[in-house]
C-alpha cells in the first residue's frame, strides 16, 4: 500500500496536475433551438449561429482560457418540451451557467424557474414582459431579473413602424385617417406587441380595422387577404415569423391587395424575399443588426469569419451578437468572483452603449441596467427589395422612442 502523504507530492507535480484540471474546465451552457417546429426557418439560422459562434470563441481563447460546452436541444417550438429540457438540465450533475433561449411562449413560461435558480437566460424573444427586472412597472406577470435580449422590444418596434408610416402619410399630403390592420396568429409571440401597438396607433389617429388571424404555419391565406382587401387597410403589421409570412405575402399578391406591410424583427429576411419574390418588395422590418453586406466596420469581417464566409440572414447575425454579449459578461464574471448566474448578471450591467469587441458596425449598441432590461429604444427600419431576381435592402431611417414610463413592461 502506498502510504505517502499527499501533501508531500512535489510542487512541480502539483502545478502539472492543477494545469491539467484547469485545461479541462468548461463552462456549460444550455441551448434551446427550433429546427423542426413552426419557426424552423429562422430557428435553423439561430442554431447554426450559436454553435458556430461558440466554436469560434473556443478556438480563440474561450472565456479567459475556459472552453464553452453547449447542450443544444431542438424543442420544436413546444413550450412543454422547453420546460422539460430545463428541468432535465437543472436536475443533472452539471447545471448550466447560462441558457441561450428561444421563443416568447417558452421564455415567459420559464421566467419563474430561472429567477429561482438564478440562471442568466438570453433569448430571441423580445417581449416587453421580459424587460422589467424588479417589477416596478406593475405591468409584468413577474419580475425578470435574469432575462436579457439584444434589440428593441416587439412593442417598440411596432410603435416605431406605425409612427414612421404616419409621418410618411402626412408628408405625402394625404388627408383623413389611415387604416391599420394587425395580423398574426393567436399565440404569445405575435400577441406580444398587439395591445401596445394598437393603443399607439389609436393615439396617433389611425382607424383600426379588426385584427386578422393567420397561422404561424405556411398555408393558403387568400381568405385572410380578401378580408384585408375589404377592410381598406393602408398599412398592415405582420406579427408572425417569416415561414408563414411568405405564404401571406404571396396570397395577398394573388388576390391583388398590397397595403404597406410591416413585420416584426423575425418576420422578414432574405429567405422571405427569395421565396416570395416581388410580393416581398417594399416590406419593412426593424433590425438591430446590419443585414449581410450592409455593415460598416470590423463586425462584418468577424461575422463572415464565424460563418466560414457563407452569407447569412439577419437572424444569424442577431444570434452572433447575443452570444458575444454573454461571452463578455462571463469574462467579467470570471475576473470578479466566478462564473455564476449572479455574477454573469452583474456582468451584463457593466457597460453603456455596449458593442462586443470586434463586432463594431454589426450589433446595435446596448445598455442594460439593474432596473431596466430594455437594451435599446432606437429602432432601425430596413425595406426589402427584389431586383433582377435578387434580394436586397434599403435602410430607411432610425427612430428613437422615449423610455416612456407608461410603455415599460408593455
Read off the pLDDT of residues 274-288 as tens digits, 9 standing for 90 and up: 999 999 999 999 999
* pLDDT (mean) for 313-341: 98
In a domain, 14, yes or no: no
Reduced to 3 DSSP states, what percent helix, strand and coil does the chain have, rounded to the nearest 5?
45, 20, 40
Q: What is d(CA 185, CA 244) in angstroms, rounded to the nearest whole number?
A: 10
Q: Which residues contact 258 (CB under 8 A, 6 or more apart)?
A: 252, 279, 282
pLDDT value of residue 295: 87
> Is the pLDDT assigned to residue 408 strictly greater than 70?
yes
| 249/161 same-domain check | yes
| 306/382 same-domain check | no
Q: What is d(CA 295, CA 288) in angstroms, rounded to the nearest whole number?
A: 12
| 146/201 same-domain check | no
Phi, psi of 393 (to 5 degrees): -135, 150
| 97/165 same-domain check | no
* pLDDT (mean) for 265-277: 97
pLDDT value of residue 7: 40
| 162/147 same-domain check | no
| 112/226 same-domain check | no
> Is the pLDDT assigned to residue 199 strictly greater than 70?
yes
In a domain, 371, yes or no: no
| 120/210 same-domain check | no
pLDDT value of residue 169: 97
| 56/79 same-domain check | yes
Question: DSSP strand E in 22-66: where?
Answer: 26-33
In a domain, 12, yes or no: no
Q: What is d(CA 374, CA 285) in angstroms, rounded to the nearest whole number?
A: 19
Percent of the chain whose pLDDT exceeds 90: 93
What CATH number should be reported for the domain holding residue 220? Answer: 3.40.50.2300
| 253/209 same-domain check | yes
In a domain, 337, yes or no: yes
| 98/240 same-domain check | no
Instruction: Give CA separation, 87 vs 91, 96, 117, 302, in Å.
Output: 6, 11, 11, 35
pLDDT value of residue 297: 84
In a domain, 201, yes or no: yes
In a domain, 113, yes or no: yes
In a domain, 370, yes or no: no
Q: What is d(CA 128, CA 47) in angstroms, rounded to the nearest whole number?
A: 24
> 21-43: per-residue pLDDT in tens?
344 589 999 999 999 999 999 99
Instruction: Give CA separation, 210 vs 98, 117, 120, in Å.
Output: 41, 42, 39
pLDDT value of residue 303: 97
In a domain, 280, yes or no: yes
> 1-26: per-residue pLDDT in tens?
333 343 444 444 434 434 433 445 89
The structure's pTM equals 0.93
Q: What is d(CA 252, CA 18) in angstroms, rounded to the nearest whole number?
A: 65
| 77/190 same-domain check | no
pLDDT value of residue 34: 98
| 148/163 same-domain check | no
Q: Which residues contact 221 (CB under 8 A, 6 or more apart)?
A: 214, 244, 247, 248, 251, 252
Our count of domains for the chain comes to 2
Domain range enclosing 191: 155-293+378-407
Amino acid at each position: 500500500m502506498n502510504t505517502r502523504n499527499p501533501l508531500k507530492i512535489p510542487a512541480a507535480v502539483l502545478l502539472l496536475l492543477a494545469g491539467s484540471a484547469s485545461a479541462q474546465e468548461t463552462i456549460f451552457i444550455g441551448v434551446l433551438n427550433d429546427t423542426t417546429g413552426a419557426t424552423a426557418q429562422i430557428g435553423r439560422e439561430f442554431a447554426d449561429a450559436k454553435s458556430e459562434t461558440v466554436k469560434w470563441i473556443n478556438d480563440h481563447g474561450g472565456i479567459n482560457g475556459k472552453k464553452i460546452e453547449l447542450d443544444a436541444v431542438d424543442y420544436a417550438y413546444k413550450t412543454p418540451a422547453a420546460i422539460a429540457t430545463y428541468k432535465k438540465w437543472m436536475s443533472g450533475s452539471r447545471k448550466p451557467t447560462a441558457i441561450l433561449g428561444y421563443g416568447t411562449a417558452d421564455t415567459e413560461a420559464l421566467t419563474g424557474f430561472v429567477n429561482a435558480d438564478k440562471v442568466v437566460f438570453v433569448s430571441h424573444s423580445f417581449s416587453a414582459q421580459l424587460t422589467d427586472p424588479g417589477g416596478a412597472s406593475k405591468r409584468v406577470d413577474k419580475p425578470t431579473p435574469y432575462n436579457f435580449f439584444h434589440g428593441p422590444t416587439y412593442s417598440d418596434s411596432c410603435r416605431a413602424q406605425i409612427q414612421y408610416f404616419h409621418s410618411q402619410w402626412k408628408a405625402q399630403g394625404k388627408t383623413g385617417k389611415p387604416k391599420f390592420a394587425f395580423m398574426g396568429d393567436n399565440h404569445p409571440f405575435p400577441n406580444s406587441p398587439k395591445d401596445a401597438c394598437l393603443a399607439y396607433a389609436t393615439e396617433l389617429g389611425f382607424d383600426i380595422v379588426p385584427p386578422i388571424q393567420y397561422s404561424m404555419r405556411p398555408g393558403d391565406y387568400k381568405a385572410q387577404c380578401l378580408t384585408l382587401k375589404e377592410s381598406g387597410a393602408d398599412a398592415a403589421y405582420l406579427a408572425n415569423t417569416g415561414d408563414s409570412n411568405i405564404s401571406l405575402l404571396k396570397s395577398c399578391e394573388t388576390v391583388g391587395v398590397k397595403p404597406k406591410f410591416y413585420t416584426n424583427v423575425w418576420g422578414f429576411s432574405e429567405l422571405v424575399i427569395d421565396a416570395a419574390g416581388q410580393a416581398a418588395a417594399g416590406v419593412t422590418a426593424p433590425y438591430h443588426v446590419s443585414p449581410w453586406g450592409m455593415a460598416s466596420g470590423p463586425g462584418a469581417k468577424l461575422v463572415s469569419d464565424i460563418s466560414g464566409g457563407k452569407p447569412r440572414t439577419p437572424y444569424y447575425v442577431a444570434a452572433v451578437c447575443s452570444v458575444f454579449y454573454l461571452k463578455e459578461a462571463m469574462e467579467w464574471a470570471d475576473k470578479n468572483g466566478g462564473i455564476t448566474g449572479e455574477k454573469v448578471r452583474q456582468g451584463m450591467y457593466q457597460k453603456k452603449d455596449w458593442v462586443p469587441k470586434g463586432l463594431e458596425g454589426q450589433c446595435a449598441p446596448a445598455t442594460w441596467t439593474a432596473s431596466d432590461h430594455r437594451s435599446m429604444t432606437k429602432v432601425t427600419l430596413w425595406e426589402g427589395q427584389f431586383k433582377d431576381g435578387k434580394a436586397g435592402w434599403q435602410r430607411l431611417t432610425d427612430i428613437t422612442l422615449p423610455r416612456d414610463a407608461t410603455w415599460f413592461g408593455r
